[in-house]
Structure 1
């Protein structure tokens, strides 16, 4: 993993940790945190970082509040912490 990919994943984790349970972020928030003035060029990598975290079970990627496959999603997405199923 490259430094930028690692920083984007870290930014997603940090942004979500600072939000209330159930709150979501836009990938642009992570891109802005990592890229500052050049954040727009990090939008694709930020979406890919979200897809990796979703595949690892850390986050859900949503559109219109519905969980979607981040790799297949077209258009705006949101990222939220994965909700754990209640224990027995």
Structure 2
């Protein structure tokens, strides 16, 4: 199965819509939703982070590490969480 950037973006936004407005998701939640086995979802993680970075630049999501907001260009490593951003659209 091939996963596109659009598939990843749609999944990030869908998972965030399914949670409370103040909740966050882990990038691995996205990868696991898109890939069946561990090797496949782990292989998706760099792409998920790239899409998260792009969405953060657009203001659609906010990337956090602990209680700090992380700059979109600085999310290549370490544990991060994804939250709704100021321009997160509620409607599909």
Task: Calculate the TM-score normalised by the size of structure 1.
Answer: 0.85
Please give the residue correspondences for 1:4-83 in structure 2 after superposition, counting only pairs within 5 Å: 4-37=4-37, 38-73=40-75, 74-83=77-86
In the alignment of these two chains, the number of paired residues is 83
Q: Please provide the CA RMSD for this pair.
A: 1.7
Distance 1:3 1:55 in 2: 22
CA contact (8 A) 1:4 1:34 kept: no
CA contact (8 A) 2:55 2:61 kept: yes
Distance 1:41 1:16 in 2: 22
CA contact (8 A) 2:24 2:83 kept: yes
Distance 2:15 2:43 in 1: 19
Distance 1:44 1:25, change over 3 A: same
Shift of 1:75: 0.4
Shift of 1:66: 1.2
Q: Give ranges in structure 2 of 5+ residues lacking alignment.
A: 88-92
